[in-house]
Chain A
Amino acid sequence: MSYKIKLNIFEGPFDLLVYLIENAEMNIYDIRVSEITEQYLKQIERMKEHDVVVGAEFLILAATLIELKSRMLLPRIKVDGTEEEDPRTELTQKLLEYTRFKRLAAAIEEQMDYAAMKLTKPQEDLQPFTGEPDEYLKMDIDQFIAAFKAFIYRRQKNEEMVAIRGSIEREKMTVAAKKGAIRRLLRKAKGKILHFRDFLLPNGGRYDKVVTFVSLLEMIKQGFASVKQDGNFQDIEIRYKESEESAQ
């Protein structure tokens, strides 16, 4: 889980630095580096005190400021008498560009507020003209009646049957019983390989298949049988492990 906390609404190091410069009423073209560096570091300390993880980008700017401060201490007159470029120029340019976009952000926000006063309506539902209409729309009423009649007929028939015979619960074979049956068959096979379908009951349906499969899995786990299948959907060969069972 991570969550964002906004503190003092500084969007980043430039945002903080611009705030500090404006607050100190400095000209951005003539930043008093040592003063602003001190304030900047103090602000970062304060953020740390409030248990804010200070992003690496804040520290990068801190390092830049400290470097700048040290460079400001050196005279910039070259041997030939010409002057080196002001070390602050790059930072000033960056801050100016950032400030410019910050103002532009405010400008487009105003534009957005204005635009929000014009409301639009959603598109009409064009589904009947464009996409596939829903299936029931395609069916004519006679087909619909026929389908409903067929449903009622089946239902009545079912109820009549229940009335005559009462409901019959199918006897369900348990995994334990199935395991017994599988074991008997394997023993009778005397080491011969059997296939998965040999254990299925005639007309056993899906339920029987599942029970058989689960039973086999259990027997494999307990070490009573080993199985082999060459590929997907191919016959599963099953072999009985006599020794393991006698050890039990």
Chain B
Amino acid sequence: MPSKKTIKSAFESMLFVWGEPLDVKIAASAMNVEKTEAAGYFKELQQEYDEQGRGIRIREINGKYQFVTAEDNFDYIRSICTPVHERRLTQAALEVLAIVAYKQPVTKGEIDSIRGVKSERVLEGLTKKGLVEDKGRSDQIGRPILYGTTDVFLTHFDLKTLKELPAIEDIEDALQYTEPQSAADLRQTSLDLGQ
């Protein structure tokens, strides 16, 4: 049985080679340890990197671990790179992605109805990018496809799980519309006849 030190060291090497998020299950079975034990070692490694303020950090994505650069170093890294074209999502893509992320599983019809405009193309693009995927079919008439976000989405947005999405309540507060206190305020006092 390899020592704890050996296992952690092996995990570190695996993270380096793997590059992409490494499933704890795979790492655990490679070292012949329990998944929970392996997860503990990954957490320890993660903590050690954080505490020492390393330039490389370990992040967790849906039970997978990945080496990433420390975000504080981004500007330094950028300064050694020739300007790279940043690939941004369009406003439409962000809207659709937000709807899918917060309302999933959601059908195309529901997305269209919230946005008031057809979203098929945008949804196709997001699927092609791997951010959104088919999560089965709804029981509604026509059995429409249900869409949901993927692990690629989590990675792209640096979220451990979907629970880490910006909270919906915070947003509600940001809406500065004031709802009328009582129904009386809503009553139309005069007829709206225009100018």
A residues in contact (CB < 8 Å) with B: 9, 11-15, 27-30, 32-35, 38, 55, 57, 61, 69, 72-73, 75-76, 83, 86, 94, 96-112, 114-124, 126
Contacts and interface: CB of A to CB of B under 8 A. Distances in A.
Main secondary structure of the interface of A (DSSP, over half): helix
23 contacts: A12-B116, A14-B116, A32-B192, A35-B194, A57-B118, A61-B116, A72-B192, A73-B193, A101-B114, A102-B95, A104-B98, A105-B97, A108-B166, A110-B166, A112-B89, A115-B156, A116-B74, A117-B71, A118-B57, A118-B68, A119-B68, A120-B66, A120-B69
A116 B114 CA distance: 28
Contact of A108 (B16, B19, B97, B116): B97
Nearest to B192: A72
Contact of B175 (A35, A99, A111, A122): A99
Interface residues of B, number: 56
B158 A101 contact: no
A101 B95 contact: yes
B95 A57 contact: no
A28 B71 CA distance: 39
Interface in B141-195: 155-159, 165-166, 168, 171-172, 174-175, 177-180, 186-188, 191-195
B114 A119 contact: no
Nearest to B21: A120
B177 A14 contact: no
Contact of B117 (A55, A83, A124, A126): A55
B20 interface: yes
Given A97-B114, A112-B89, A73 B179 contact: no
A100 B172 contact: yes
Interface string B113-134: 1111110000000000000000
B68 to A, nearest CB: 4
Contacts of A103: 171, 174-175
A13 B113 CA distance: 11
Contacts of A109: 89, 94
Nearest to A115: B158
Contacts of A28: 177
Which 6 A-B pairs give the minimum distances between C-beta atoms?
Answer: A12-B117, A115-B158, A34-B194, A117-B74, A123-B19, A117-B71
B168 A30 contact: no
Contacts of B115: 11-12, 14, 98, 101
B102 interface: yes
A86 B188 contact: yes
A74 to B, nearest CB: 9
B116 A33 contact: no
B101 interface: yes
Contact of B166 (A33, A111, A119): A111
Contacts of B74: 116-119
A102 B97 CA distance: 10
Contacts of B165: 108, 111
B116 A105 contact: no
B67 interface: yes
B177 A96 contact: yes
A101 B99 contact: yes
B92 interface: yes
A16 B113 CA distance: 15
B175 A13 contact: no
A101 B102 contact: yes
